[in-house]
Amino acid sequence: DVMDSFAVRTLRDIAHMARLRGAETVIVGIQPDVAFAMVQLGLTLKGVVTVLDLEEGLAFLNRRTEERTAFETKPKKPSGRG
């Protein structure tokens, strides 16, 4: 299995479009030999989160959701301006 520059660019573009719509993309399941070949060819998924498998992907998204929820519900400090 090979990941060529077109496939990498397509995945990156899809992730970027999803980000513009407010979604977060996590790519799961890239096999080690494919990842190694990508590195050797200088193909990167810059700005896109990649994890080993679906379980790790879901765990990552759950942590992200918890972080955002905690940030949004955190009480704001008074600015001291009046």
Closest CA to 31 of 62, 5, 3: 3
Q: How confident is the model at residue 1 (pLDDT cuts 50, 70, 90)?
A: low
What pLDDT does 52 receive? 93
What's 5-73's CATH class?
A: alpha beta
Each residue's pLDDT tens digit, 33-61? 888 888 898 988 888 999 999 999 999 99
pTM above 0.75, yes or no: no
**Lowest mean pLDDT: which of 23-32, 42-51, 56-65, 73-82?**
73-82
The percent of residues above 70 in pLDDT, for the chain, comes to: 94
**Residue listed under structure tokens 């940030």:** 71
The tokens describing 26, both together, are: 């996590």
Interior/surface letters 44-61, b for 16+ CB within 10 angstroms, e for the rest: ebeebebbeeeeebeebe
